[in-house]
Structure 1
Amino acid sequence: MNTHKTIFDTTLRDGEQTPGVSLTNEQKLKIARQLDKLGVDVLEAGFPVSSDGERQNVRAIANEGLSLDVCGLARVLTKDLDACIDCNVDMIHTFVSTSDIQRIHTIKKSREEVVAMAVNAVEYIKDHGVKCMFSAMDATRTDLDYLIEVYKAVEGAGCDIINVPDTVGIMAPSSMYQLVKNINNEVNIPIDVHCHNDFGIAVANSLMAAEAGASQIQVTINGIGERAGNANLAEVVMCLHSIYGAKTNINTEYLLETAKMVENYTGIHMPANTPIVGDNAFAHESGIHTHGVLEKSDTFEPGIMTPEMVGHKRRIVIGKHAGKHAVKKSLEDMGIETTEEQLDEILIRIKDIANKGKRICDADLHAVASAVLGRNLGNETIILKEFSVMTGNLTTPTAVVRAKIGDEEAVASNFGVGPIDAALKAVELMIGGYTKVKVRDFSLEAITGGSDALAEVTISVEDEHGRVVSAQSASADIATASVDALITAINILLEKKKLWSME
């Protein structure tokens, strides 16, 4: 499949239909701009007839002057089509149910009526000078002969591209291949596919459709969408590029950046093991793996896809499965040199800690190395003096932090959506003149019970070059634990930066 495929993104339409997700107008506009930067060919901005707010969103995106085509969704109803036309979209995606189960029980139309409605909608769109995509909803449960009849009818009406949706996600990849192959043999306009992930094979079905002749694939960022979601853009694109040798217009170096934006706006967290863009996608802990990767990355990574290709970074993780090479490399990154005997002792202590179920952070490795070498490694650039947080149901959470940074005293205050957010933002503001960092990950776990439970906070901070350092702290006061962990991580990062600046 050494050919070019176009990418149709429906994050702002089907993606926003994810249960519990509701994007603001400004968030939608920012995502649209990001998708344009990413290189998406078509963006489905929304379903304009559904509400006045939705219509305003779609119109704003259509008028943004983006390079991609902006598409609006519409049923085969004149009011829906007019709503899209009123938004000045480049393309209208119109649809009607064609499977017997949906046709009989939802729209209650005969097969002949459905064909007529589809043709009328396509002709209406083309009469208004707009590109048209027609979708036979629930195509994968539609009688094949009838499905082809519908597609041929809209092709004759001037449709630009047809969509084959696996609406309820029930196709096996081999069946998807055969279906698209059959349709491709009968129609002469491009084929697009829209696969749902109910059985976890939306990406596989999309790729099989592409093998069978589909020229365009519908996707969402992070695979969000109705029920179990849609085909994941990053996975589809990187499979096309790296495995199939196909081309798209996607600028893959922005995949992680885009995924993080959508994760942040939707609140749908990506599991660490998410392919391509997850935190663990290029992370290694096993001693055998890390040894190999440190020698040559292709030994335990695909090779045909590197972290740099998708805007990611390789990470060596220290834990119970870590080997001597990984620990040595991590210590060297901190500017710590050891003898073989010291290295062996550090490895033993690290494994002892990890075997008790504790996640090993950079701060832990630093502390263990200090103990084994019998000296304090590095200085604390930032020494916390005091901090306070004011919050309540009538007060915007506000934090004030005072610390000694080098030989100077610094004070900063900031607001947040909660006391922890305010405290962390105050620290970031306070150290802004010394180094640029942002909180990359934050996790909280209660390690004792009761209202006075001891909480353990783990924080990862990232500098302007994408380098990450992690630290933990435990306290009955969550805000205290959070600030302590953050400052510990920043201190280690500052020590590392001194080393990096000498390289």
Structure 2
Amino acid sequence: MQLEIMDTTLRDGEQTEGVAFSKQEKLAIAKKLLNLGIHRIEVASAGTTKEEFDAVSSICRWAKKNNYLKNIEVLAFINKKSIDWIYESGCRTANLLCKGSLRHAKEQLGKTKKQHLEDVKKIIKYAGSKDIDVNLYLEDWSNGMKESKDFIYYMLDGLQNSDIKRIMLPDTLGVLSPEQTYSFIKEIKEKFPGKYDFHAHNDYGLATANTIHAVLAGIDGVHATINSLGERTGNASLIEIAVVLKDIYNIDLGFEESKYQEMSDLVAGLSGKKPSYNVPIIGKNVKTQTCGVHADGDQKANLYKTPLTSPGRFSKEKIKYALGKNVGKASIEMNLKDLGIELSSKQIKILRDEVAEIGQKKEQITQPDLLFLIADLFEQPEMVPFKILDCIIKTEINGERSAYVKIDYKGNIMKQKAKGDGGYDAAMNSIKKMLSKKGIEPPKLLDYNVTIPPGGETSALTLASIGWKYNNRKMQSHGIETDQTFAALKATEKILNLILRNGNEYIKK
């Protein structure tokens, strides 16, 4: 079976509240999706803004030049204007939105089933006159199968001789169970043989499960989005579907899974909607074990590793062992090994108890934090070769933003002033100038998040969480302060110590 995936991140995904991709962003995402190996992409709804028209035209020009035009699709409506819009944009495939339930036809369109069918046939014929291929959505098909099956049968029977490439069956409101999905698709394909797609929504959290059951029922294509973007609770996750089919059902779609993380990060960055930390496959916690028992099992025989945690798969780092209240001896030892640090059994116990106590207070602990804890607990200042001794930041609304920073690097006191776009940027520029004098290249900042606890107190502690990349390795550091800039500088101090400390020099017991 040749299963097709149609990605609708740029159409249904953009119906996520607060998401609006620019022309350049849509083109960038479209290129990435097609280069990933996705079979078809739905890039817009016809008849919207001039900016949307320009975006679709740009995608189609690129697609035509690179032999991808047949892979580009646009949502159309039952009017000639939307078909003209698609034709003029350069796209040659229309996904025609029709009704899949009697209630929708009567209450929303005010049409009988006969009137609706005739309207649909006219638009299909008109699209054909412009050499536009037509796929047909039966909107609210899932409720139609539940409440007005005769309407769906009437539509499918009446369209059998129409020039349609495929019928698309949407669970528009995400109301189906996996069992219903399987049963309804089997029924449709047996009664009306043809090519069909399934389009899931995640209102009950079943979008991926329903999509998998559609595949098992013999569906020809499924729809999905990157990061589950979409109306209300979103669509099925393209990456989840691809990995589940490959790992559990031995159906390899042939996508380059090493690009999944990059694809997810791109869409997250451009949409402003970041996936939760515990989202399967691409969540930040996918390769993080918190329980000490798991760390112990992996240390002894990789007892808690799965295909999802294989090092390098999906362009992710190797598995991490979290440092919190549930930390065990093995978790501490695995992190120390990663840092290139040796401690005695007694020191490891002391360090584990300290980490557990900090974790009990719900504070986040990262590998860079371990260096500071070791330095404090065991009086080993070599763990912290870099210290920010002073920082004075000057910020004017319509003027200069600058920072004076004083550091201690391995006993050498250094001072530097620099300008920047803001206080933290200016301070970082000062630090970079000082490190460059020592031939040190700082890490690249990937992600910057500031968290302030609810309550509205201006004196509340601020948590700065910063993601970094250094020598192709991604790392995280945290800093806590009442001032968010100084919280970020604490996080910076921690990551620089992790990098500057020579990981091959083990601490003697």
Counterpart Cα distance in 1 of 2:433 and 2:160: 59
Whether the aligned pair in 2 keeps the contact of 1:447 and 1:456 (CA below 8 Å) is no
Task: Give, in angstroms, the shift of residue 409 of structure 1.
Answer: 6.1
Q: Report the TM-score, using the length of structure 2 for normalisation.
A: 0.88
Q: 1:16 to 1:384 in 2, by over 3 A?
A: farther
Q: 1:282 to 1:152 in 2, by over 3 A?
A: farther
Map of 1:118 onto structure 2: 120
Whether the aligned pair in 2 keeps the contact of 1:8 and 1:216 (CA below 8 Å) is yes
Whether the aligned pair in 2 keeps the contact of 1:399 and 1:423 (CA below 8 Å) is yes
- In structure 1, which of residues 279, 285, 300 is the aligned counterpart of residue 304 of structure 2? 300
Task: Give, in angstroms, the shift of residue 5 of structure 1.
Answer: 1.9
1:31 aligns with 2:29: yes
Q: 1:102 to 1:304 in 2, by over 3 A?
A: same
The code of the aligned residue for 1:98 comes to: G
Q: Deviations over 1:214-266 (max 9, x none)?
A: 12111111111111111111111111111111121321111111112211222
User: Superposition pairs for residues 107-256 of structure 1, below 5 Å?
Assistant: 107-142=109-144, 143-256=148-261
Whether the aligned pair in 1 keeps the contact of 2:372 and 2:383 (CA below 8 Å) is no
Q: Deviations over 1:264-288 (max 9, x none)?
A: 2222222111111111112101011
User: Superposition pairs for residues 392-471 of structure 1, below 5 Å?
Assistant: 392=397, 394=398, 398-400=401-403, 402=405, 412-415=418-421, 434-446=441-453, 450-471=457-478
The code of the aligned residue for 2:153 comes to: I
Q: Deviations over 1:431-462 (max 9, x none)?
A: 68614422335342349973333323333323
- In structure 2, which of residues 276, 288, 296 is the aligned counterpart of residue 283 of structure 1? 288
RMSD: 2.8
Map of 1:50 onto structure 2: 48
1:488 aligns with 2:494: yes
Q: 1:338 to 1:170 in 2, by over 3 A?
A: same
Q: Deviations over 1:107-163 (max 9, x none)?
A: 111101221222222233333223321111111122334313323443421211110
Map of 1:477 onto structure 2: 483
Whether the aligned pair in 2 keeps the contact of 1:460 and 1:489 (CA below 8 Å) is no
The code of the aligned residue for 2:78 comes to: V
Bigger shift: residues 302-311 or 218-227: 302-311
The code of the aligned residue for 2:479 comes to: Q
Task: Give, in angstroms, the shift of residue 424 of structure 1.
Answer: 5.8
The code of the aligned residue for 1:56 comes to: D
3-state secondary structure, aligned to 2:463:
strand
Whether the aligned pair in 2 keeps the contact of 1:95 and 1:137 (CA below 8 Å) is yes
Counterpart Cα distance in 1 of 2:467 and 2:3: 37
Whether the aligned pair in 2 keeps the contact of 1:412 and 1:430 (CA below 8 Å) is no
The code of the aligned residue for 2:353 comes to: I
- Unmatched tracts of structure 2, length 5 or more: none
Whether the aligned pair in 2 keeps the contact of 1:39 and 1:251 (CA below 8 Å) is yes
Q: 1:401 to 1:32 in 2, by over 3 A?
A: farther
Q: 1:91 to 1:310 in 2, by over 3 A?
A: same
Map of 1:344 onto structure 2: 349
Counterpart Cα distance in 2 of 1:479 and 1:197: 39
% same residue: 23
Task: Give, in angstroms, the shift of residue 332 of structure 1.
Answer: 2.2
Task: Give, in angstroms, the shift of residue 93 of structure 1.
Answer: 0.7
The code of the aligned residue for 1:57 comes to: A
Counterpart Cα distance in 2 of 1:132 and 1:138: 19
Counterpart Cα distance in 1 of 2:283 and 2:435: 29
The code of the aligned residue for 1:133 comes to: N
Counterpart Cα distance in 2 of 1:286 and 1:262: 31
The code of the aligned residue for 1:222 comes to: N
3-state secondary structure, aligned to 1:162:
strand
Q: 1:291 to 1:162 in 2, by over 3 A?
A: same
Whether the aligned pair in 2 keeps the contact of 1:398 and 1:423 (CA below 8 Å) is no
Counterpart Cα distance in 2 of 1:338 and 1:124: 77
The code of the aligned residue for 1:351 comes to: A
3-state secondary structure, aligned to 1:147:
helix
Counterpart Cα distance in 1 of 2:454 and 2:98: 53
Task: Give, in angstroms, the shift of residue 377 of structure 1.
Answer: 3.3
Task: Give, in angstroms, the shift of residue 96 of structure 1.
Answer: 1.2
Counterpart Cα distance in 2 of 1:28 and 1:429: 37
User: Superposition pairs for residues 320-359 of structure 1, below 5 Å?
Assistant: 320-359=325-364
Q: Deviations over 1:83-107 (max 9, x none)?
A: 1111111421111123122111111
- In structure 2, which of residues 358, 361, 371 is the aligned counterpart of residue 366 of structure 1? 371
Whether the aligned pair in 2 keeps the contact of 1:218 and 1:231 (CA below 8 Å) is yes
Whether the aligned pair in 2 keeps the contact of 1:177 and 1:208 (CA below 8 Å) is yes
Counterpart Cα distance in 2 of 1:217 and 1:87: 25
Q: 1:260 to 1:75 in 2, by over 3 A?
A: same
Q: Deviations over 1:281-327 (max 9, x none)?
A: 12101011122234444x32433663533222222211111111110
Whether the aligned pair in 1 keeps the contact of 2:416 and 2:433 (CA below 8 Å) is no
Map of 1:59 onto structure 2: 57
Q: 1:398 to 1:111 in 2, by over 3 A?
A: farther
- In structure 2, which of residues 76, 97, 103 is the aligned counterpart of residue 95 of structure 1? 97
Whether the aligned pair in 2 keeps the contact of 1:48 and 1:58 (CA below 8 Å) is no
- In structure 1, which of residues 65, 74, 80 is the aligned counterpart of residue 82 of structure 2? 80
The code of the aligned residue for 2:335 comes to: S
3-state secondary structure, aligned to 2:21:
coil
Whether the aligned pair in 1 keeps the contact of 2:432 and 2:442 (CA below 8 Å) is no
3-state secondary structure, aligned to 1:136:
strand
- Unmatched tracts of structure 1, length 5 or more: none
Q: Deviations over 1:330-350 (max 9, x none)?
A: 112222211111111111111
Task: Give, in angstroms, the shift of residue 389 of structure 1.
Answer: 4.7
